[in-house]
Amino acid sequence: MTRGGGPGNRGSSVAVLFVVVGLACQEVGASLAVLLFPQLGPLGMVMLRLVFSALILLAIARPRLRGHSARGWRAVGLFGLVLVLMNGLFYLALERLPLGVTVTIEVLGPLTLSILASRRASALVWAALALVGVVALGGGGWDRLDLLGVLYALGAAAAWAFYILCSARVGREFPRLDGLALAMVVGAVLSLPLGIADAGSALLRVDLLALAAAVAVLSSTIPYALELMALRRLPAAAFAILMSLGPATASIAGFFLLGQHLSLLEIAGIALVIAASIGAVRAGARGARRDAPPEGEALAEPIG
């Protein structure tokens, strides 16, 4: 009989710690980005995050440029476009909404994708629970939330769902991190015009560039590395459940780092969306065990 403190349990505990630290880094990075908005603007911040993330990924992956099909390059181009939309809409929403609310709305993207992909009747229950949570997010009235910010967050949610689909496709066409690194370069290039216009002369300040690089490391590099290590130790379903806690960590970061207070009804709404996400993941895992496994898995990296 295996005792509770065996190597397997220790490995799982370490993996959980990796995910929690990764989530914390993402939300600290998002909070730092919000603090830089007055100087760099949200689109300027998006540009710098993508540029620095691309440089870091290129150095790590050193992707091969030859030997790829036209279909693979089209997949990379679409992935890069989705990266720009996902990050841009998320930061535009963050400019108008609290961090916890923004991340909760954003989570609806992968949650909806999971519900649509499920063939179980329980998916309707989780969809209804998520809907109740979204209504509660408005604190009893959506008029107290910035409408444009909500629309931006919903756009980011849709982009996150496309991110997952594109990530799976690129992962089949390119080995290791090559596809992601090349897509990040495409995204960085596409973000330059609006990003330069939004940031303006602030791009000449070395201190702001250093802080933007820190956002890229906190929001992308560290979480991605920790998530990859966690996935080697945890089942995909358990990993997805832990990632569903993103809205909670975002709310905590928004409270402590940005002074963003949420009402009890908003906190209840966030809890309901988290519960719906966990329920949908568990239902999907049961369905996957019953049916044939999917063709491939995508790492649904959050963008906070």
pLDDT tens profile 215-255: 999 998 898 888 878 877 877 777 778 888 889 999 999 99
**Segment 181-216, tens digit of pLDDT:** 999 999 999 999 999 999 999 999 999 999 999 999
- Asked, for residue 16, whether it belongs to a domain, the answer is no
Contact 246/81 with Cβ under 8 angstroms? no
pLDDT at 299: 46
Query: What is residue 301's predicted lDDT score, i.e. its pLDDT?
Result: 54
Which pLDDT belongs to residue 67? 84
Question: Helix count (H) and strand count (E) of the chain?
Answer: 12, 0
**Which DSSP symbol is given to 293?**
P
With a pLDDT cut of 70, the percent of the chain lying above it is: 87
Whose tokens are 């509660």? That residue is 136
- For 260-296, the pLDDT digits (tens) are 988 888 888 899 988 988 888 777 666 555 554 444 3
Inter-residue contact 91 to 195 (CB < 8 Å)? no
In this structure, is residue 168 part of a structural domain? yes
Q: Are 296 and 171 in contact (CB under 8 A)?
A: yes
Indicate the number of domains in the chain.
1
User: Which residue type, as a one-letter code, is found at position 123?
Assistant: A
125: domain range?
Answer: 22-290
- 80 close to 184: Cβ distance less than 8 angstroms: yes
pLDDT mean over 122-126? 80
Residue 263: inside a domain, yes or no? yes
Predicted pLDDT of residue 300: 47
Q: For residue 138, give the DSSP letter.
A: T
Euclidean distance between CA atoms 219 and 222, whole angstroms: 7
236-243 and 264-290 helices cross at what angle (nearest 10)?
Answer: 170
- Cβ atoms < 10 Å from Cβ of 112: 17
DSSP 86: H
Check: CB of residue 145 under 8 Å from CB of residue 101: yes
Q: Is residue 295 part of a domain?
A: no
Averaged pLDDT for residues 27-39: 96
pLDDT beyond 90 at 91 = yes
* pTM for the predicted model, two decimal places: 0.85
- Let me know if residue 2 belongs to a domain: no
